Structure 1
């Protein structure tokens, strides 16, 4: 393997990590509060606002229903407005973030809904306010599920980041398409696939480890 190819793979890997890290961060900032609200705002719940819940749920579902590659093309004007361009690593973060927010929101909602309702009733009986219940009961109890949900989101964004290469984004997907496919260099394509597999395995392993560490119900080894 030539030094030039190694350098291209390293640069493309860094670009992919950059895109995924920033879009995950922004997606979590937007998706976490939306997910908490969706989980707590149906009729009779802590933040009862059924009408807003229904409208927000429709928006989230509509965004999630659009195939990612179509979403990338459809929001090109918005991407240009935000990033100043529609191609490149920074521009790719815009559609990745928009795809991540509703995805993370639904994962967070599902994790919170799995919390035992008895804990909520006990906190209510003790006089806790809705926001106190959310901050001190729901989120801590749902943290393992939220962690696994964010892990799944990162894995999905790694796959999405490879798709962005087909429409002017950079990173491993772009390298695989331009060199592995268009220039008939199967060794490049193979290396891109291997790196993507390694990244996914690392993210999944780290995410599962963190989920076990934050799970108060799981027994832990004293020597761990």
Structure 2
């Protein structure tokens, strides 16, 4: 590759890292509380409220049912309102975050549901509040699954950010389409694929190591 192409490649890599990191952080901040809300308001939950649970579940399912490429287009007015533009890296973070939040919420919900109910009842018997149950039992006990699910979400976001490049979001996906596909520069396409594989492998490795350290069942 020429020096110009290398500079373009590094800039695209940074844009992909930025999109993945920012949207991943947002999905964690909003997705985990949403997953908690789905668990605690469900039947038999510590704050049972079936109407709230059904409404939240319907919203989550609605967003998850829409293919990401369609969501990108449908959210253009909202993206323009929030980011001031509908193209570019910062604009792509909006639909990426909105798509990833319900996705991660469902993954977190599964992990939270696997917490031993005996522990929850024990805290209840000792007079623990709902917040104490969430803080001392639900989140700590489900932490390995929560981290594993977040790792899966980040890996998914790497692929989604590449897809966002198809509509001008920048990043490695945009580079692969404009140079690797449209200009038939095979070396660029191969380099992009190789870097994406390395990114996904690194994320998965780091996530697996962290889960192993958090898992109390591992001796």
TM-score (norm: length of structure 1): 0.96
Q: Which residue of 1 aligns with 2:198?
A: 198
Q: Which residue of 1 aligns with 2:65?
A: 65
Distance 2:203 2:18 in 1: 14
- Between 119-128 and 199-208, report the one with greater CA deviation: 119-128
Deviations 1:156-187 (A, max 9, x none): 00000000010111000000000000111011
| 1:31 partnered with 2:31 | yes
List runs of 5+ in structure 1 lacking aligned partners: 220-224
Q: Which residue of 1 aligns with 2:82?
A: 82
State how 1:1-224 maps to structure 2 within 5 Å: 1-219=1-219
Distance 2:45 2:77 in 1: 39
Distance 1:99 1:113 in 2: 22
List runs of 5+ in structure 2 lacking aligned partners: none
Q: Which residue of 2 aligns with 1:222?
A: none
Q: CA deviation at 1:125?
A: 1.2
Deviations 1:59-114 (A, max 9, x none): 10010010000000011011000000000000000000000110111011000001
Q: CA deviation at 1:58?
A: 0.6
TM-score (norm: length of structure 2): 0.98
Count of matched residue pairs: 219
Deviations 1:108-144 (A, max 9, x none): 1000001111111111111111110111001000000
Distance 1:120 1:164 in 2: 42
Instruction: Note the aligned Cα RMSD (angstroms).
Output: 0.8
Q: CA deviation at 1:44?
A: 2.8
Deviating 4+ runs (over 4 angstroms): none
